[in-house]
């Protein structure tokens, strides 16, 4: 046992301070990215998590006389707890999951209790360390659970890798502190120095992996944001033609495979006259105003898709909607548009009308055929005088 311990001899204080410096630097990098490059709150939460974790490591080696040692121990434990809470908030926010304040309070209760109970009231360094350690194990299990729910498929691989790392670290963490608690079988016990070395190296690798994962998630987020922008019409914010065809890939609409699907093809009547009479800036305002009205169809992202297919032409997909239901929705929307006026630059107001083609898609028909049929329905509405709803002739 002594030979094994000697083989693992290392300067723990130097390693701890190295971890602290590394985490401070990584925290600063994430803070820079969160404030400038990505403008994302989750990066800021992670940054402050690394900074507080670094503070806990910086004060760890100090050994003073009381009452200053009490202050050092309090900063060490509380900074560790606060850092864990900040990490969780960052992952909740990044993953678009609700923050659970009660759980954060529970996590902070462990380091607070360890300081008050085992540093002030009944001084016991062993119990103080173990109490905070229990809170850290709880934090790691919560983090592992949070990482089980990536909100986008692009982040799945990073989440899966990080979950694996967290699980491995939990095993090392519990094994290390079980020695302090004397919970390990006698045959599995090693000297405390042995545990300190393994735990310190594991902690260094864990925090480094966590930092790299956070950076990877932020850059993956930036890449997905750029990809999303390429799928969106810059003027209206609706899906563009490319985004529409991407959104209706079979893999994305497979849960609607056996449901009724109806299409609405919508065209603003005499839009060229608006551009000629009022100017293209006014035409853009009309398109933006109309897009806001169209978003009434987009109140359920799972059942409806709205896209600007080009110029003044728009398309709405209504899943789980029969032809009769689609006709009612289309007529109601046409009437709303007819009654609405657009204010240009806060002064002049203009009104406009729309024509709508409605088509229910048979199950065996592909999207190209369906689009041709709904266009026929739109042209029928125009031939009949515009400002009306029509089926294919």
8 Å CB contact between 380 and 388: no
Number of H helices, E strands in the chain: 14, 7
Q: Please, which residues bridge with residue 356 across strands?
A: 266, 389
User: What is the Cα–Cα distance from 145 to 39, expressed in whole angstroms?
Assistant: 26
Measured from the Cβ of residue 203, the count of other Cβ atoms closer than 10 Å reads 19
How does DSSP classify residue 237?
-
How does DSSP classify residue 364?
T
User: What is the Cα–Cα distance from 357 to 346, expressed in whole angstroms?
Assistant: 32
Nearest Cα neighbor of 312 from 288, 296, 329 is: 288
Nearest Cα neighbor of 205 from 166, 147, 160, 158 is: 166
Nearest Cα neighbor of 45 from 97, 4, 9, 118 is: 97
Catalytic residue among 65, 312, 313, 368: 312
Q: Catalytic site residue 312? A: yes
8 Å CB contact between 308 and 291: yes
Q: Is 277 exposed, middle or buried, given 0-12, 13-18 or 19+ CB atoms closer than 10 A?
A: exposed
> Residue 135, Cα to own-chain centre: how many angstroms?
25
User: What is the Cα–Cα distance from 295 to 292, expressed in whole angstroms?
Assistant: 5
The dihedral formed by the CA atoms of 159, 162, 164 and 166, expressed in degrees to the nearest 10: -130
Assign residue 96 a region: left if phi > 0, alpha if psi is -120 to 50, beta otherwise? Answer: left
- Cis peptide upstream of residue 67 (ω within 30 degrees of 0): yes
Phi and psi at residue 348, in whole multiples of 5°? -70, 145
3-class secondary structure, 258: coil
How does DSSP classify residue 346?
T
Residues with active-site annotation: 312
């Amino acid at each position: 046992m002594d030979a094994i311990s000697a083989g693992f001899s290392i300067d723990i204080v130097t390693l701890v301070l190295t971890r602290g410096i590394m985490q401070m630097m990584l925290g600063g990098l994430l803070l820079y990215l969160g404030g400038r490059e990505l403008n994302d709150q989750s990066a800021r939460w992670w940054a402050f998590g690394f900074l507080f974790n670094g503070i806990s490591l910086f004060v760890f080696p100090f050994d003073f006389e009381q009452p200053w040692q009490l202050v050092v121990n309090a900063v060490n434990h509380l900074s560790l707890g606060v850092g864990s809470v900040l990490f969780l908030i960052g992952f909740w926010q990044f993953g678009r999951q609700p923050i659970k304040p009660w759980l954060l309070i529970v996590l902070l209760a462990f380091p607070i209790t360890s300081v008050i109970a085992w540093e002030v009231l009944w001084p016991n360094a062993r119990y103080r360390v173990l109490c905070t350690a229990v809170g850290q194990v709880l934090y790691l299990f919560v983090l592992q659970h949070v990482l089980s729910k990536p909100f986008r498929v692009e982040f799945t691989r990073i989440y899966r890798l990080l979950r694996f790392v967290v699980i491995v670290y939990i095993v090392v963490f519990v094994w290390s502190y079980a020695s302090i608690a004397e919970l390990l079988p006698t045959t599995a016990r090693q000297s405390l120095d042995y545990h300190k070395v393994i735990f310190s190296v594991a902690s260094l690798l864990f925090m480094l992996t966590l930092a790299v994962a956070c950076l990877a998630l932020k850059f993956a987020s930036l890449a997905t944001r750029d990809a999303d922008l390429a799928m969106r019409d810059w003027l209206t914010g609706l899906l563009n033609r490319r985004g529409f065809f991407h959104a209706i890939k079979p893999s994305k609409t497979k849960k609607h495979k056996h449901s009724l699907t109806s299409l609405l093809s919508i065209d603003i009547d005499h839009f060229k006259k608006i551009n000629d009479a009022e100017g293209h800036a006014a035409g853009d305002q009309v398109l933006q105003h109309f897009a806001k009205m169209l978003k009434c169809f987009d109140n359920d992202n799972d059942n409806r898709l709205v896209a600007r297919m080009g110029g003044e032409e728009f398309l709405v997909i209504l899943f789980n909607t029969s032809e009769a239901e689609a006709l009612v929705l289309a007529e109601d929307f046409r009437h709303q548009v007819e009654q609405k006026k657009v204010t240009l630059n806060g002064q002049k107001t203009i009104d406009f009308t729309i024509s709508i083609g409605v088509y229910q898609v048979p199950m065996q028909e592909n999207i190209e055929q369906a689009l041709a049929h709904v266009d026929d329905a739109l042209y029928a509405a125009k031939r009949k005088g515009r400002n009306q709803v029509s089926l294919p002739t």
